[in-house]
Amino acid sequence: MPQVAKTKLLSNESPEISIGKRISTLRKLRGLTQIQLAEIIGISQKLVTDYERGRLHLNDEMIKGFSIALQVSSDELLGLSDISYRKELPLRYMRRMKEIEALPEAKKKAILKTLDDLIRANS
């Protein structure tokens, strides 16, 4: 059972780079909602919110779960090493790509053809 944070741990981190902030940032970089992240890990969306806001401390299983779900090392998640930002599409593109993937094959081809035409016209 997750434990509510009762005391602040001593840290040389500034609040802008807390573990919760890193979780939130990485989640958004991966194009995930809190609900989607919660489903991957197997916890509730409320717990994801509580971890992101620093209301709960991460235990070893949660560190492992978040690291796997967010595709980073535990050191990156905990701030012991810099996050190796992988060049990824912005969130708005990721969401659209997921929507396109759900379409029937004929519609996907039509969208890709339209994109190709627009790219060629603007090159």
Average pLDDT of the chain, as a whole number: 82
Say how far residue 97 (Cα) sits from the centre of its chain: 16
The two tokens of residue 120 are 């060629």
The two tokens of residue 88 are 């990824």
Q: Is the pLDDT of residue 92 over 70?
A: yes
Residue partners of 18: CB distance under 8 A and separation at least 6:
54
Say how far residue 54 (Cα) sits from the centre of its chain: 16
Banded model confidence at residue 28, pLDDT cuts 50, 70, 90: confident
- Using one digit for the tens of pLDDT, what is the confidence trace for 42-51? 999 999 999 9
Residues 23-28: contacts with CB within 8 Å, 24+ apart?
23/48, 23/51, 23/52, 23/66, 23/70, 23/77, 24/52, 26/70, 26/72, 26/77, 26/83, 27/52, 27/70, 28/91
**What CA–CA distance (Å, rounded) separates 25 from 6?**
24
Banded model confidence at residue 9, pLDDT cuts 50, 70, 90: very low
Banded model confidence at residue 94, pLDDT cuts 50, 70, 90: confident
